[in-house]
Structure 1
Amino acid sequence: MAQSPEMRASDVDRDRVAAVLREHTAQGRITMDEFNERLEQLYQSKTYGELARLTADLPDVDLRNPPAKLPGTAPAPRSGMHSGMRAAWGAWAAASSINWVIWLIVSITSGHMIYPWPLWVMGPWGVILLLSTLSGGGQKRR
């Protein structure tokens, strides 16, 4: 059934238009002030015709398919490692670094080198991460 401009719009319809307005704001077609004005009007709108007027001067946006990259932008670097595995390695590196800094400060302030206990923190954790990475636990799923 075709939607006539006089037909009442639902909350779902208003949310859909709000998403379109957010996308146009993100793409720079409308300013934040315009976005806020249109958003105010959006939630006061009652019919499909009122909703259509809010986006009449904007091109159609397919929210299911993001826009293609601009020709001048470089693609994001692709690594064979899953982002979760990269995050795990990052956490390991951060924790290991903090422990080594603490060890160094304690060694300097005590006046002699103490046992390198950070090895017990980074060693087992690093071995598990290494085995997971090598066994394919870090591969991207397709």
Structure 2
Amino acid sequence: MTMAASPNMRASDGDRDRVASVLREHYAQGRLTGEEFDERLDQLYTSKTYGELATLTSDLPDVDLQGLSNALARPSERGGRPDRGRASDGALRHIWAVWAVTSAINWVVWLIVGVADGLDFTYPWPLWVMGPWGAMLLLATLAASLGKKRNP
């Protein structure tokens, strides 16, 4: 992304929003991982100058912000809604991975406590962590899947 102003000039909220759009587009295209995308968004909203904003996209190819904003503003001309499926799929996979790692950690803690307590594995409390969270994720995944089928 190229900035027309001096790198030391203060950026506006609108400038940060445009850079966030560029980062979302690169994430959707697979140029950024979920972790890189999250890190750059964190840095984005603490950036104060155009120079700080430019460093967030300096290793990425330029994106036509005017074309991007026009495509998002007029989805009917493109034959439907904007294609957010790939980004939402990546986000869901990321959230499921976090759920799986958290669940595994809880089971390991449960196992260690059970072994330390003389092999007493009476109450599987990790189910209270993974059950409701997993159910909500399952509903979100099903809703996203149904949304794609209705609006291809």
Bigger helix fraction? 2
Considering the TM-score relative to the shorter chain, is it more than 0.5? Answer: no
Larger of the two Rg values belongs to structure: 1
TM-score (normalised: structure 2): 0.41
TM-score (normalised: structure 1): 0.44
